[in-house]
Amino acid sequence: MNSKPLEKKPACSITSAPVPEDVQCSQCGNDMEIWSDETDINCNLCGKLVQNNLNTFFQENH
């Protein structure tokens, strides 16, 4: 078996897998899930925009 040595990469080149976060719509109280790689989602009950800003969630009226 011909194996190659593992290529060393700097830590900054390693990406993490997206993870889900639970959020609640401030307009209607609907519980939702947003993934860490999503920029925003709309509430499926009232349509309010929920944004993901660098893992700090804030909600904005649209």
CB 37 within 8 A of CB 55: no
Extract the tokens encoding 31. Answer: 């519980």
Find the mean pLDDT for residues 24-41: 91
Q: What is the pLDDT of residue 61?
A: 45
Find the mean pLDDT for residues 41-57: 80
Find the mean pLDDT for residues 7-23: 73
Q: What is the pLDDT of residue 32?
A: 93
Phi-psi region of 37 (alpha: psi -120 to 50; beta: other; left: phi over 0): alpha
Integer angstrom CA distances of residue 23 from 31, 38, 45, 47: 6, 13, 14, 14
With 0.85 as the threshold, say if the pTM is over it: no
Q: What is the pLDDT of residue 23?
A: 86
Extract the tokens encoding 26. Answer: 């401030």
Cα 51 from Cα 43, distance rounded (Å): 11
Average pLDDT, whole number, for the chain?
76
